[in-house]
Amino acid sequence: MTGTTQRVFAARLAGTSVFDPQGDLVGRVRDLVAVVGAKPPVRVIGLVVEVPGRRRVFVPMTRVTSIDVGQVITTGLVNMRRFEQRGSETLLLGELLDRTVTLKDGSGPATVEDLGMEAVRPRDWHLTKVFLRRGQAHRGLGGRLRRRGETLTVDVDAVVGLATADAAQGATNLLAAFEELKATDLAEVIHELTPKRRHEVAAALDDERLADVLEELPEDDQVEILSGLEGDRAAHVLEEMQPDDAADLLSELPAEQAERLLALMEPDEADPVRRLLAYDERTAGGLMTSDPVVLAPDATVAQALAHVRRVELTPPLASAVYVCRPPLETPTGRYLGTAHLQRLLREPPSTPLGQVVDTDVDALAPEESLQAVTRRLAAYNLVSLPVVDEDGHLLGAVTADDVLDHLLPQDWRDQDEQIFEVGRG
């Protein structure tokens, strides 16, 4: 730390690497924790740091020895217990960004875009500045953040409303701070927010991004967020989800609500979801996705490799191409076999898939149990298996990640092993 007053803006710390004194990476900053009262000072008491394993832990500011451009240095003592926000605590990024406050000089309302903090004494940080915008920030073409209106930086005691959590609030600047996060990591951030804030963030996400995040959230959060959306918006989000994930989510809703949303979806999007809902969730039919990679036997290895390179495919789905007679939409024509990615990589690009299919592994029937599916995957060392009906038509594929989701306890996302504990500062 230098002898001059150091000011750090909170939003710029999002994603910053945190190191121990030896230079080893501890994790990355996901938020800052403050105690916001009716009157200043507002003390910043710690960082929320995501450590390996996607666990979010609390690092007190008393253990932060340095904050510089692109890095935070700690003493090395970190409590590995999962962070749980206390009632007196406020998340600077999660709860204060985008909040509407009123300037005491009578010039009206403004939106919080960032928050500046300073070390008033060694390792004692106070919130001192608020970066505001009069006007609106919105996302234009391509999702880029567009900012309009006057900006100003004022002292924290020049505004009213930082401690008021009841007013409606946007989420544009919060999402900008976490724009580079993968859906899985953004889901972790959203999971830690209050229900009110979760709804505000969901409202600010586009349908595709919200669908990706919903697929990574616990069931309770999924139901809460989807139920808070307008019917048409909820239907559009379900259309963007993988059919098996959409079916799992709809199965958690009251039957009447689920049917209403299915009726609002486009028929070609709703039909595969309806088929999946017809199966018990702990069977191959209930576990499968109805949208694996399916090609005809005269398609070439080069065409197959082009299909599995699609970025939206998960690694388990990209590991195999299911070769079928037309039609190629599930339920397909007769299933002929599976072309595994490893075999495709060894074959000449012009080779027809009909010459490289594996027919040794029996396909699953949709009624087979979760235990039977698990045994089959383990026995053949596979990450996906085809599911066919009694006439040999491909219905879909079960992947190892879907099996794991059903084998693990429902609260597995919240279960963390405590490695080392030091009392909360």
**The pLDDT of residue 418 is above 80:** no
pLDDT in tens, 171-185: 999 999 999 899 999
Give mean pLDDT, residues 412-419: 49
Range in 146-155, 197-206, 268-277, 295-304 the model is least confident about = 146-155
pLDDT bucket at 133, cuts 50 / 70 / 90: very high
> What CATH number did the domain enclosing 252 receive?
1.25.60.10
Choose the final residue of a domain: 230, 250, 278: 278
7 and 113, same domain (yes or no): yes
Contacts 24+ apart (CB under 8 A), 331-337: 331/389, 331/393, 331/394, 331/395, 332/294, 332/393, 332/394, 333/393, 334/391, 334/392, 334/393, 335/363, 335/386, 335/388, 335/392, 335/393, 335/394, 336/297
**The pLDDT of residue 421 is above 60:** no
298 and 269, same domain (yes or no): no
212 and 315, same domain (yes or no): no
Q: Does residue 416 form part of some domain?
A: no
Give mean pLDDT, residues 47-66: 92
> What CATH number did the domain enclosing 376 receive?
3.10.580.10
36 and 68, same domain (yes or no): yes
263 and 316, same domain (yes or no): no
> What CATH number did the domain enclosing 67 receive?
2.30.30.240
pLDDT above 90 covers a percentage of the chain that reads 77
4 and 111, same domain (yes or no): yes
Q: Does residue 58 form part of some domain?
A: yes
Reading the block at residue 248, the tokens are: 């799992």
Number of domains the chain is built from: 3
175 and 210, same domain (yes or no): no
Per-residue pLDDT, 412: 56
Domain coverage including residue 341: 294-407
248 and 371, same domain (yes or no): no
pLDDT in tens, 388-403: 999 999 999 999 998 9
pLDDT in tens, 96-111: 999 999 999 999 999 9
Per-residue pLDDT, 147: 58
Q: Does residue 419 form part of some domain?
A: no
Give mean pLDDT, residues 145-153: 76
228 and 301, same domain (yes or no): no
pLDDT in tens, 276-290: 999 998 999 999 999
134 and 261, same domain (yes or no): no
Task: Check residues 193 and 418 and name the one with the higher pLDDT.
Answer: 193
46 and 132, same domain (yes or no): yes
**Rounded to an integer, what distance in angstroms lies between the CA atom of residue 368 and that of residue 55?**
35
Choose the final residue of a domain: 164, 179, 194: 179
**The pLDDT of residue 235 is above 80:** yes
Q: Does residue 368 form part of some domain?
A: yes
Per-residue pLDDT, 410: 64
268 and 300, same domain (yes or no): no
pLDDT in tens, 7-27: 899 999 999 999 999 999 999
Task: Check residues 338 and 423 and name the one with the higher pLDDT.
Answer: 338
